[in-house]
Amino acid sequence: MIHAPRSVASLVPALSLVVLSACRDGETETTRAIAIVPSPLAAAGCTGPDQVFTAPQTPSQVALAVLDIGPTSQVCAAGDSETLFATGDQAQVVALDVSGGAPVETELVAAGTIAALLNTLGVTSPPELGGIAVLDADTLLVIEMTSNTILSVDRTTPDTVELWAGLPSETPGFADGPAVTATADCPLGFARFGFTTPTALCPTGTTGGSVYVADPANHALRLVSGGCVTTVCGLGAPQSLDGTLGIAGFDTPVGISTRCAGALLVVEAGGNKLRELGFTSGSFGVSGSVTTLAGDGTEATTQGDGEAAQLAAPVSVLSTSEGDVYWLDSATGILRRMSGAADSVDCPLAVDCASAIADFTPGGVLSLSQTPAGALYVLDADADTLFRVTP
């Protein structure tokens, strides 16, 4: 079933981030941290326990019957059950119940459904789905790369898809404005995105719903809230710079998640870094800053503490409930971890990073997810395989 675009005016903005472009430096006695609340349904951060590895450790393949993995397929986990959601070839969407042994697969969107929707929106090229996330108990969000839009998928009624955010266009754009239709708070313009590579969505648990979007072609972090799309941070060009939100920049951000402490994590495939965004509220309103947690900008998979470590086109970051951070070095196909007070970065499936070999396809399209019980999964699109890493 294909629906016309719906209004998202019922969403309430979590933060007044539309005014963040001019942030003040320094702090006052009235400054306080603002927590970005992890979504209890989305498993978009602060999910599951830290992993226990026995290096060297080899991931196991998960047998699939319904999901047809495509060249840009991605996976995410629900935050309230042992369920995965994955995008497949020809814009298929499948739910996988992994609470037992073999997954129980349910097709939510069949191949061809989204192509038919795009045709009604004036986009005739074949669809390609990238990132996927759980918005709430009823809805998934998927990034449609051909039209540079975000679509909603009904979790209970098969083949029910709607336009959720963005002006459908095969030409990437970079503009803030209404997510779909004009509202009182967001009356003018059309929101545009640049989804030129598989990227990520991060719904939060803030009342009313807010979704952060890694926008790789525009080298920016975007926010969809209250029916509006705004740019939180990013200069529109590949500049990996720390600082306040008005001057900080990214180089091809493709992974985003939350931490239990309430900050946002972003990995840059172009900048080869793990970054953190924190927000504060003070006498001058809401402000924030971006700092680098790991990586010196060199593309390599080496261990070390913080910026002394090196990352190789990192993608698909997540944080556990106990504080560890995981991602995939897509250039080398190696799972990475940052842990401890010193932010030590290693290669947990290997004895050390120097001896690590590719666990997944080097240079491939990879995504990482963890279920609430602590099962870690990697979808390797180039290998047409879903892997269970641990336990």
For residues 22-36, average pLDDT: 56
How many whole angstroms separate alpha carbon 252 and alpha carbon 296? 15
Q: Is 17 helix (H, G, I), strand (E, B) or coil?
A: helix
CB atoms within 10 A of CB 35: 17
pLDDT digits (tens, 9 = 90+) for 288-325: 999 999 999 999 999 999 999 999 999 999 999 888 99
Given this model, what pLDDT does residue 207 score?
60
DSSP 229: E
Asked whether residue 13 carries a pLDDT value surpassing 70, the answer given is no
How many residues are recorded in the chain? Answer: 391
Cβ atoms 104, 97 nearer than 8 A:
yes
In the chain, where the domains are located: 17-390
Band the pLDDT of 12: cuts 50, 70, 90: very low
Task: Tell me the CATH number of domain 17-390, given options 3.40.605.10, 1.10.260.40, 2.120.10.30, 2.40.50.100.
Answer: 2.120.10.30
Q: Above 50 in pLDDT, residue 371?
A: yes
What is the C-alpha to C-alpha distance for residues 177 and 44, in angstroms, rounded to an integer? 25
Pull the structure tokens for residue 195: 């989804």
pLDDT(22) > 70: no
Which structure tokens are listed for 124? 């005739």
Q: What is the pLDDT of residues 182-197, one digit of tens each?
A: 888 888 889 999 999 9
Sequence letter at residue 381: A
pLDDT, the chain, mean:
89
Q: What is the pLDDT of residue 45?
A: 67
311, two tokens: 């990352």
Nearest to 213 by CA among 244, 246, 257: 257
- Determine how β-strand 93-97 pairs with β-strand 264-268: unpaired
**C-alpha 81, offset from chain centre:** 19
147 touches 115 (CB < 8 A):
no
Model pLDDT, residue 145:
98
3-state secondary structure of 139: strand
104, 98, 87, 90: which is closest to 140 by C-alpha? 87
- What per-residue confidence (pLDDT) applies to 150? 98
Contact 88, 94 (CB under 8 A): yes
pLDDT score at 368: 96
Identify the residue whose tokens are 């108990």: 137
Mean pLDDT value of segment 341-355: 96
The pLDDT tens digits for 199-225 are: 999 999 876 678 999 999 999 999 999
Q: Identify any residues that bridge with 315 across adjacent strands, giving them in sequence order.
A: 328
The 3-state DSSP class for residue 105 equals strand
How far apart, in whole angstroms, are the C-alpha atoms of residue 179 and residue 194?
14
Q: Which residues contact 381 (CB under 8 A, 6 or more apart)?
A: 69, 70, 71, 72, 73, 74, 364, 365, 366, 367
The pLDDT score that the predictor gives to residue 183 is: 84
For residue 62, what pLDDT band results from cuts at 50, 70 and 90?
very high
8: pLDDT strictly greater than 60: no
